[in-house]
Amino acid sequence: MPFFLQWIKKKQIGFAANRERPSLPTQEQIQGSILGAACGDALGMATEGLNRQKIQESYGWVADYRKPVHRTKNAGQWTDDTEQMLLLTEALIEAKGFEFQTYYIKMLEFARKFINQEIPNRGYGPTSKKAFQNLVVGISPSGVYSPSCGAAMKIAPLGLFYADNPPETICQVVRECALLTHSHPESISGACAIAVAVAVATRPNVPIAEIITAGIEAADSIEGGIAPHLKIMLSKVQNSNTALQKVLKAGFSAKATVGICFGILARFANYKEAVEQAINFGGDTDSYASMIGSILGAKEGIACIPARWLEGLEAKDRIQALATQLYRARLP
């Protein structure tokens, strides 16, 4: 039996009623998660949408910010993943928690600017674009039925803010947040997996296997979600030494991106190594790296992020200040 199924059976990670309430994440962990995600996103910006072979031909092994060969952006700039994560962070700070109306107003304001081309398009997929249109013209519900990863890629701040809550509570808030733009169960399930993985990662000395298992359980709480795929994929990663590229299929869906995120984490638990694997993988590299960065940054804190990655990140000071405000908003 794969190790993660044993965990689920024996330990009932996170969902056991008698489990002690976890403590709040530290400021270093919240900064590590938000900046870790942003750095991963900006590193993956140069390779997003290219396959592994094209990445190697264009850059060799990517281990730093690069000017992309296929888009008009500068090295160190981040994409839609970070833009949406920061919007959610601002909404959480403003309302001192997830309050639908606050988030809705923020998203509506953003969607108007996006549709009117008052802000640059940082690489949104068709699902998000359609959801922004729905918001602006007042179509309700605005969420689009597509199994994409747009809800999972931005969700880390919810996991951080509600880290001391049971996974069931985190998943309820995730669902409410995700539905504004994404209504497909696979999309919501992927977001639950990442939010709960981030929350569990903030617990002291937590093993990576426990984080992954908790993420899969959270994904499993959504009917029609991605948990069956995650379990099969992880058993392949765990039960062979085959290269990850042969086991995991690159893609842009919640299934593919969260699967690759957990697959890489199962083999690489070091922030720098795991992010490098993600940005060189091919496909939706910025989203894999952003999710991985949010989880390992939450686990290890800001100190795990290489200094040159922090220094080269677009708007690093603003992002760090927002992370600090999120930490303060959660204090009693």
**Judged by CB under 5 A, how many residues of this single chain contact Mg ion?**
5
Binding mask 260-299 for Mg ion (x = CB under 5 A): --------------------------x-------------
- Residue 133 beta carbon to Mg ion: minimum distance, rounded to whole angstroms: 19
- Residue 77 beta carbon to Mg ion: minimum distance, rounded to whole angstroms: 11
- Residue 213 beta carbon to Mg ion: minimum distance, rounded to whole angstroms: 27
Window contacting Mg ion (CB under 5 A); options: 53-61, 97-105, 121-129, 132-140: 121-129
Is 314 a binder of Mg ion (CB under 5 A)?
no
CA 81, CA 287: separation in Å to the nearest integer?
A: 7
CA 58, CA 48: separation in Å to the nearest integer?
A: 12
Using alpha carbons, select from 322, 264, 329, 255 the residue that is nearest to residue 293.
264
CA 21, CA 24: separation in Å to the nearest integer?
A: 9
Three-state secondary-structure class, residue 148: strand
Using alpha carbons, select from 256, 234, 273 the residue that is nearest to residue 186.
256
CA 332 to chain centre: 26
Is 186 a binder of Mg ion (CB under 5 A)?
no
Q: Which two tokens stand for residue 37?
A: 């995600």
Among 37, 38, 40, 81, binds Mg ion (CB under 5 A): 81
Is 83 a binder of Mg ion (CB under 5 A)?
no
By the 10 Å C-beta count (0-12 exposed, 13-18 middle, 19+ buried), 305 is classed as: buried
Window contacting Mg ion (CB under 5 A); options: 80-88, 154-162, 222-230, 251-259: 80-88
Binding mask 122-141 for Mg ion (x = CB under 5 A): -x------------------
Nearest residue to Mg ion by CB is 79
- Helix (DSSP H) and strand (DSSP E) numbers for the chain: 17, 0
CA 61, CA 42: separation in Å to the nearest integer?
A: 16
Window contacting Mg ion (CB under 5 A); options: 115-123, 128-136, 223-231, 314-322: 115-123
Residues engaged in binding Mg ion (CB under 5 A): 79-81, 123, 286
